Amino acid sequence: MTMNKNLPSFALCVLFAFLLTLPVSAQAPPDYDPGVVVVQFEPEVAYKTGLRTGLQEFDQKASRYGVHAIERMFPFLDYAEPTPETAENIAKLRRTYSVRYSVPAQPERVAEELELAAGVTYAEPALLNRDAGYSRRDAPNDIRYSLQEKALELARVPAAWEIVKGEDGTPSVVIAVVDSGADWEHEDLLGNVWVNEDEVPGNGLDDDENGFIDDVHGVFFGNGDDLNNDPGDAPSTTLEHGTAVAGIAGAVTDNFLGISGVAWNAKIMHVNANAEGSGRRINYGYQGIVYAAMNGADIINASWGAYGPLSGTPAHISEAIELATDMGALIVAAAGNDGKDMSTHLPSSHPLVLAAGWSGGFLTPGITRQYRSNYGPTVLFAPGGDLWSTFPEGQYDKISGTSIAAPFISAVAALMKTREPDLDPRALRNHLLVSSRYMGDYVDHNEETRIIMAEDLARGFIDAEASVTPGPRVSGWRWTDSGGDDEISSGEEVTITATVVNYSEDSDESVAVLVPERDYSFLSIIEGERVVRPLGRNDSVEVSLRFKVAEDAPVNRSPRFHIRLTHEGFHHKYEGISVFVNLDVDAQNRAYQAILDSGIEISRIRTFGPWITGMYLLGDLARPLTEIGMFPHLRKVAFYSPSRLPTPVPIEIELLENLVFLEIRYGSGFDIFPPGLKKMTVLQHLELWDNNFGSLPRSFLETDLRYLRSPDICLPDDSEFREWSKKVKIIFRGNWLHPFCSAQFGERVRDQSFKAGGVISPVTLPGAPGKLNYWRTGPGSYQTASPPIVYTLHPALPEGLTFNAATRTISGTPAFASAPVTYTYTATDANLAIDTLTFSIEVLARIPTSTQRTALPESFAFHGNYPNPFAEATHLSFDLPWAARVGVEVLDVTGRRVHVQSPADLSSGWNQSIALRLALPAGVYLYRLTADTPEGLQVRSGRFVKVR
C-alpha cells in the first residue's frame, strides 16, 4: 500500500486521533491445565516409555516436580505416511509428550525449568480448552457466596455444578431434613421447599391418604395436634438447628440472596421430629425417616443420633432404616461430635447409612478430621467448621459440627442422584465412598496428639466432582511377593492387585496406572499400566500391576504408590498404597541403641507390634541422627533441643514415608530446614518452635502439608505462596492469619562482648525493610505505603546498656560483668509479619590495675564460668566486696534441681572462685550463685554446657 502524498496534513492528524480512540480489548490471561506441561525432545533422544528419559538433568527436575506420567500426545502418528510437506511436523510431533506432575507449582514455572534441560526442544504449559459455545460463570450470585467459597472449592463443589445442578432434575431430587423443624419460610429457603402436590392445604383433610392432615411441606410429629403439620410452627430457638441444616443443603442458589445451597436448588422436605417442649431433642427421628421415604424423599438427612447398646442395633431402628432404604432413600447421618469411634452411634453406624464426619477446624476448612468429630471405617468427611447458613427469622450465621457436614454430603448425593435418577441407595452410598479423596493417617490435635490410622477413616474426604462423575473406581488393593513368604525382599517381584468396581452407569474401558509417589532408586516398574474391561453397574474386576525390588535394596524402606484410574478423560487417584521392603527388626533395635548411646533421651515411645511408630528425641545432637531412617513405621517424631548449639535435623528423615507428624522445638540451633521434608508426601502436621528458620523455604511449595504451626516463621509474600497457603491450616502466634513476610532480616547479628566499666562503641542492629507496598490500618482498610516496622530486644540488657528502637542501636557503659545471655531481636510490621534474630551479649570483667588491687572490689561482680563448655569440671569466678557465705545450685532446662554445692565461707577479694565437678549427662544446665552478705542475699545466675 502506498500513501497519497497529497493527503492534507490535518487529515493525517484526524486519522491518527481516530486510531487512538479505537477501543482496545484486554487480553484475558491464559487458562492453563494445572499439573500438565508439553515437552518436545530433540531428535537424538531415544526415550520411549517410563518415568526416566535417560536425560540426567531432565530426570532430576522431573523428580523434583513429582512427574508421574510422560505420555505421547500423538502416538497415532506412527501410522501416518510422511510426505515432503508433512514429514518435518510429523517427526516433531512424534517426539512431543504430555508430562504430568503432582507438585502444586504453576505450569509456566515448571515448563521454564524443564526447557533448560539438555535434550529438550521446548517445554510449555498446556492450554485448558473449553467449548466456545458454552459460557461458564465463575460462581453463583448469592451475596454471601464468598464466605462459603473456600469450603466449597475444597470439596470441589463448583466443579460438580459444572456437570450437574439439583434444579436439572425432572422431577427435582428431594432431600428430607429430619430435624427439630425449620423456618421453611426463610427468604433463602422458601423457593426450594418441597410441596406435597396431592395435599390440599388448609382443608383439614388427609387428601393423599398418607396418614397426615395438611402435610403440605412436611410434617410435625410431636406437637400433639393432628391438624397442624406445619414443620416450622415452633419457637425460633427450637428451629435453629434444622434451619441451619436445611440451608447448607438446600438454600436457594443463584437468587442474589444469602448463601448457596450445595445441592443447587434441589427440593427440601422438612420433617419436624421434635416433641413440643423437649428442647431440641429428636424424639421421632426414625418415624421421620420412614415418613420421608414413604413420601418420595431421595436423600434423608439425619443430623442427630445416640449411642446404642454394645449388643447391637435395636431391631426397630434396623427395620426402619432397611425399610427406608428399600423404598429408595439414602440416609446420611451425622457421626457425632465426641471425638471417638462411632461404632455404636446410631443411626450413623448402621451399614446402610452413609455416616458424615467433620473435617477442618472452626476457622479454616481442611481435609483432616476435626478432633471433635467421631470417626470410623464407614465415615465420609466433609467441611463442617464455621460454615455460613440460614437461621430463623431471616438471619444468617455460622455453625459447626458433624450436623453440618451431613447436609453437605446429602447435597452432593442429591447432585449424583440428579445425574443418575435410577441409582439405588446402596450403589449411591458406595459410589460416594469410593469417589472420596484419601485422608491418610490423622493427627488428633488434642493434648496427646495421637495418630488415628487411615483404616479408621474410610477412604476420606468428599469429592463432589468425582461423586457426580460416573465411572469405575479402585476400591481396595493387596500385594503378593514372588517369594511367597509374605515378605518383600531384595530381588523379588511384587504384584499389586487392585479391585476396580463400578457403582454407576455401565462403563467403557478404563486404564489403571501404578504411580510411585517419588523416584525410588531401589524399585523398577515392570508392568505399570493395565486396561480395565468395561464394567456394568455393581460389577467389579481385579487388575494386577507389578514392580521389582533391586538386588541391593536397603533395609527398612517403605515406598508409597497411588493408582490413577482414567475413564473417559476423568482421572481418579487411589492413594495410600504402602509396602515395606527388607524389614529388619534387629536393624531397628540397633538404631535405637545407637541413638541412646549418642546421649539423646528417647521418651513417649509408641509402638505397633515390634515396630516403633512414635518417639520424642530430647537432647543436643552432637551429630546427625542417621539412624532415624531405620524406623519405617514411624508416624510421629518430635525433636527437642534445649540448647542453642548447632543442631542439624538428619536428612534421613526423608526416608520416613509414613511420617504424619513432625515437631522441631526448643532449639535456636535449628537454622536449616531439613531438605527431605519436600519428599514426605503424607506429612500432615508440622510444628516449628523457637528456631532460626525465619522465612519458609520454597521447597515447601512441593509438599502436601495440611497443618503448620509456628510462632517463628513467616511466608514469602508472592503469588505461589499465597495459593499454597489456601490449602494449609496455618496457626501463627495463636491466631489463624497467614503470616506473609514483609519484615525480613537480610543479615544476622554477631555475638557481642563488652568490658565492664567502659563506654562501648554503639552497635547498630540490621533493619528488616518491608517488602509489601501496603499495610492494614483497620478492618478492610489499607494504606499504600511500606508498612512501618517496630523493633524490640528481649530480655533486658545488662545494667548500663540501652537499646534505641528508633535507631536500632545498643549503647552505654556496662556496669558489671555477666555471663553470655541470649537476646531475641524482633521486627514486627503493621501487617503483623514478624522476623527474629538471636545473638548473645557477654560483659567481661574489668582487669584492675595494681593500684586498684590494693582496695577491695566495689561490688559483687560475677564473671561467669570457665571453661564453658566443659567435660568434667568448671570454675565460677566473681569479686566479693565483703566476706560472705557462697553456695551454688544447678538446675536442668526444666527447672529441676540436679546438684547442690555445700555453702563455703569466703573472704572478700578479687577473682574468688568455686570449683564444680558434676557427674551429670551432657547437656545445657542453669546455675544459680547465692551469696549471704551484710547487704542481704545476693543472687547471680547463668548457664553452661556440659559435654561428653
Q: Which helix (H) or strand (E) holds 168?
A: none
CA distance linking residue 45 with residue 184, whole number of Å = 67
Amino acid found at 929: L
Asked if the model's pLDDT at residue 695 lies above 80, the reply is no
**58-72, 93-107, 223-237, 657-671, range with the lowest pLDDT:** 657-671
C-alpha to C-alpha distance for 511 and 529, rounded to whole angstroms? 7
Percent of the chain with pLDDT over 70: 80
The grid coordinates listed for 586 are: 534387629
- Residue where a domain terminates, one of 450, 467, 484: 467
The stretch 56-66 carries a mean pLDDT of 91
**CB-based contacts of 819: which residues, under 8 Å, 6+ apart?**
842, 862, 863, 864, 865, 942, 943
User: Does some domain include residue 238?
Assistant: yes
Q: Are residues 791 and 687 in the same domain?
A: no
Same domain, 862 and 810: no
199 with 320, same domain: the answer is yes
CA-closest candidate to residue 45, choices 64, 67, 72? 72
pTM of the model: 0.63
- The mean pLDDT of 162-178, rounded to a whole number, is 92
Asked if 626 and 689 sit in the same domain, the reply is yes
- Quick one: CA dihedral 864, 865, 867, 868, positive or negative? negative
DSSP string, 339-390: SSB-TTEETTTSTTSEEEEEES-SSS--SSB-TTS-B-TTEEEEE-SSEEEE
The string of pLDDT tens digits covering residues 360-394 is 755 555 677 777 888 887 889 999 888 999 999 99
- Considering the domain architecture, whether residues 198 and 331 belong to the same structural domain is answered as yes
Task: Please tell me whether residues 513 and 601 are part of one structural domain.
Answer: no
β-pair partners for 574: 563
Q: Are residues 274 and 367 in the same domain?
A: yes
Phi-psi region of 347 (alpha: psi -120 to 50; beta: other; left: phi over 0): alpha
Strand order in the sheet with 763-764: 763-764, 809-812, 801-804
752 with 763: CB under 8 angstroms?
Answer: yes
H or E segment to which residue 723 belongs: helix 719-725
DSSP class of 746: S
Judge if 725 and 832 occupy the same domain: no
ω into 867 cis (within 30 of 0): yes
Of 556, 578, 600, the residue that ends a domain is: 578
DSSP E strands: which ranges in 907-947?
909-917, 923-933, 936-946
229/223 Cα distance (integer angstroms): 8
SS (H, E, C) 608-656: ECCEEEEEEEECCCCCCCHHHHHCCCCCEEEEECCCCCCCCCCHHHHHC
CATH code: domain of residue 926: 2.60.40.2550
**Tens digit of each residue's pLDDT (9 = 90 or more) over 455-501:** 455 558 899 999 999 999 998 899 999 999 989 999 999 999 999 99
We report the CATH number of the domain holding residue 67 as 3.30.70
Q: Given the C-alpha cell 466432582, which residue does it identify?
A: 465
Domain span at 881: 852-946
Contacts of residue 296, Cβ cutoff 8 Å, sequence gap at least 6: 174
Cβ-contact 696, 702 below 8 angstroms? no
* Cell numbers that stand for 65 in this block: 516436580
**pLDDT single digits (tens) 779-804:** 444 454 556 788 999 898 998 999 99
Among residues 560, 578, 596, the one where a domain terminates is 578
Which of 113-122, 512-521, 684-693 comes out lowest in average pLDDT?
Answer: 684-693
